[in-house]
């Protein structure tokens, strides 16, 4: 058997999920990594409404560096049949509690009993629940970055997520710049990077700084610049990131790169610098192009009370399970 299996809801994909893919892959680097993604109806029944649809989540994970194959509609409770079907020697998961949201049972008990379950260290500082809380509490900016990634953690995670694939542009490269804030990763944002790769040989994201974003929007971005970098580094079409840019494209970029085209994440007044007026601008040609940060935020806010209740239910289940474990010991 030459496969490793990793599954989950991944209903608002972030760098913690992508680091899980990397860590699962490293358990046996010669194995192919299969990522199972639960369907919308199952997540609705078990946890509540999903943030992104199955198709949207599958598209994002199929666009990342460390995933070999996506398994859409994966079952909630892992069976040996699923592992055998995909020729996987074992299932992998973070070393945190693995509990079904509806009844608190262990979703991986069968694989564990069969000796076909392995763990890796969970990524601290980010979770779907944490990201949802930031979006739901957007008016309380002080609570945004109560957790998050520091520079030391960023340095180590950079190499893991990029797969050491990032490189410097050469004089022969045709450089396409994708300009935006990318507050969190969306199918629309990923489709822009994919589109950029169709028009050039080198794709670089010009990532707006936290300070610049807050000066324009009156609040910080939902993820810090370092977190946003980690999200983007997972995408297989990306070659590099210029961190801490301004809303108006910096004129000096034209001296650094042989820029042959531009894309904008969500175009706003003032983003285009007249120095670039001679360059073509492209738009994503994808069914996911309109699935942007603002679109996903609307989904979440329209179901605000449901997501708050979902988070509370999850934390309650985990606390109860942890207490039971301590009693058993």
Question: What whole-number distance in Å separates Cα of residue 80 and Cα of residue 114?
Answer: 8
Q: Which residues of 75-100 are buried (b: 16+ CB within 10 A; e: fewer)?
A: ebebeeebbeebebebbbbbeeebbe
Helix ranges, the chain (H): 15-27, 40-46, 54-62, 80-85, 109-113, 128-136, 151-162, 187-199, 210-217, 225-233, 253-256, 293-302, 304-328
What is the SS3 assignment for 19?
helix
Structural contact between residues 42 and 10, judged by C-beta atoms closer than 8 angstroms: no
Has residue 164 got a pLDDT over 80? no
Determine the longest span between alpha carbons in the chain, in angstroms: 69
Mean pLDDT estimate for the chain: 86
Structural contact between residues 150 and 124, judged by C-beta atoms closer than 8 angstroms: no
Structural contact between residues 227 and 192, judged by C-beta atoms closer than 8 angstroms: no
pLDDT tens for residues 114-131? 999 999 998 887 888 888
Has residue 82 got a pLDDT over 50? yes
Residue of higher predicted confidence among 188 and 278: 188
Provide mean pLDDT across the span 82-94: 97
Least confident of 33-47, 62-76, 157-171, 313-327: 313-327
Structure tokens at 67: 């995933």
Has residue 320 got a pLDDT over 70? no
Residue 64: enclosing H or E segment and its boundaries?
Answer: none
Has residue 152 got a pLDDT over 50? no
Structural contact between residues 65 and 165, judged by C-beta atoms closer than 8 angstroms: yes
Has residue 155 got a pLDDT over 70? no
Question: What whole-number distance in Å separates Cα of residue 242 and Cα of residue 229?
Answer: 9
Provide mean pLDDT across the span 81-103: 83
Please give the pLDDT value at position 47. 82
Q: How far is CA 304 from CA 53, 60, 135, in A?
A: 17, 24, 10
Please give the pLDDT value at position 249. 83
Half-sphere CA count of 158, side-chain side, radius 13 A: 15
Provide mean pLDDT across the span 153-179: 79
Cα dihedral across residues 22, 160, 198, 248: positive or negative: positive
Please give the pLDDT value at position 274. 82
Return the number of other C-beta atoms located less than 10 Å from residue 286's C-beta. Answer: 16
Please give the pLDDT value at position 159. 67
Measured between alpha carbons, how far apart are the two ends of the chain, in Å? Answer: 36
Which pLDDT band, with edges at 50, 70 and 90, does 326 fall under?
very low
Question: What whole-number distance in Å separates Cα of residue 312 and Cα of residue 243?
Answer: 35
Provide mean pLDDT across the span 299-326: 65
pLDDT tens for residues 198-256? 999 999 999 999 999 999 999 999 999 999 999 999 999 999 999 999 988 877 777 78
Provide mean pLDDT across the span 6-25: 95
Least confident of 29-38, 270-279, 284-293: 270-279
Q: Tell me the whole-structure pTM to 2 decimals.
A: 0.89
Instruction: State percent of the chain over pLDDT 90.
Output: 60
Backbone φ and ψ of 315, nearest 5°: -65, -35
């Amino acid at each position: 058997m030459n496969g490793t299996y990793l599954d989950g809801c991944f209903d608002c994909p972030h760098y913690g999920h992508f680091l899980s893919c990397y860590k699962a892959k490293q358990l046996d680097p010669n194995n192919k990594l299969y990522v199972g993604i639960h369907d919308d109806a199952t997540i609705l029944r078990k946890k509540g409404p999903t943030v992104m649809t199955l198709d949207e989540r599958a598209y994002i994970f199929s666009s990342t560096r460390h995933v070999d194959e996506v398994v859409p509609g994966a079952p909630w409770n892992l069976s040996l049949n699923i592992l055998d079907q995909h020729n996987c020697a074992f299932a992998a998961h973070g070393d945190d509690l693995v509990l079904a949201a509806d009844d608190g049972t262990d979703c991986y008990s069968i694989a564990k009993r069969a000796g076909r379950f392995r763990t890796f260290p969970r990524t601290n500082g980010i979770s779907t629940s944490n990201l949802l809380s930031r979006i739901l509490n957007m008016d309380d900016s002080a609570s945004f970055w109560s957790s998050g990634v520091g520079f030391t953690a960023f340095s180590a995670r950079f190499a893991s997520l990029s797969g050491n694939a990032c490189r410097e542009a050469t004089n022969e490269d045709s450089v396409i710049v994708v300009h935006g804030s990318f507050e969190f990763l969306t199918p629309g944002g990923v489709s822009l990077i994919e589109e950029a790769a169709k028009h050039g040989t080198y794709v670089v994201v010009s990532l707006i700084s936290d300070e610049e974003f807050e000066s324009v929007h009156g609040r910080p971005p939902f993820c810090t610049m370092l977190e946003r970098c980690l999200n983007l580094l997972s995408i297989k079409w990306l070659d590099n990131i210029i961190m801490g840019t301004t809303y108006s494209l910096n004129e000096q970029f034209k001296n650094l790169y042989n820029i042959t085209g531009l894309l904008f994440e969500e175009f706003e007044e003032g983003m285009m610098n007249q120095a670039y007026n001679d360059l073509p601008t492209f738009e994503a040609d994808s069914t996911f192009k309109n699935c942007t940060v603002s679109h996903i935020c609307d989904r979440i806010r329209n179901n605000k009370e449901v997501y708050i209740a979902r988070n509370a239910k999850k934390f309650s289940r985990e606390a109860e399970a942890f207490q039971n474990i301590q009693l058993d010991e």
